[in-house]
Amino acid sequence: MSISESLKARLSKDRPMTSITLRIPVDVVESLKAIAPKRGMAGYQTLLKSYLSEGLRRDEALFANSEQARLLEALRRHGVPQSVIDEATRELTGA
């Protein structure tokens, strides 16, 4: 599936859904509840889904380029800490 086809599928309103259960610390849920209305969202679950989508899109873009993915894996094998890899990735993507 091409990127544009994938995007069209994601924007479809009739996509199949599933329910999941996550164990999240109470203070994190309280923070989500406080931030959601400030971001114009009705509730914390919508905000949480937004965060998941943002992270997923970022990672999909990152790993779509197999050369980049191979480089990241090589850095991990050579003992480069994940925090350093994440920081460098943020710098490159402007995130």
Instruction: Look over the chain and give the mean of its residue pLDDT values, rounded to a whole number.
Output: 85
Measure Cα distances from 14 to 8, 9, 65 in Å. Answer: 12, 9, 29
Please check whether residues 59 and 74 belong to one and the same domain.
Answer: no
41 within a domain of the structure (yes/no): yes
- pLDDT at position 10: 66
Measured torsion, CA atoms of residues 55, 58, 63, 64, in degrees rounded to the nearest 10: 130
Please check whether residues 31 and 60 belong to one and the same domain.
Answer: yes
2 within a domain of the structure (yes/no): no
Measure Cα distances from 53 to 25, 69, 74, 84 in Å. Answer: 20, 20, 27, 23
Count of the separate structural domains present in the chain: 2
**Is it the case that residue 62 has pLDDT exceeding 60?**
yes
**Is it the case that residue 84 has pLDDT exceeding 70?**
yes
- pLDDT at position 1: 53
Structural domain harbouring 78: 65-95
pLDDT tens digits for range 19-55: 999 999 999 999 999 999 999 999 999 999 999 999 9
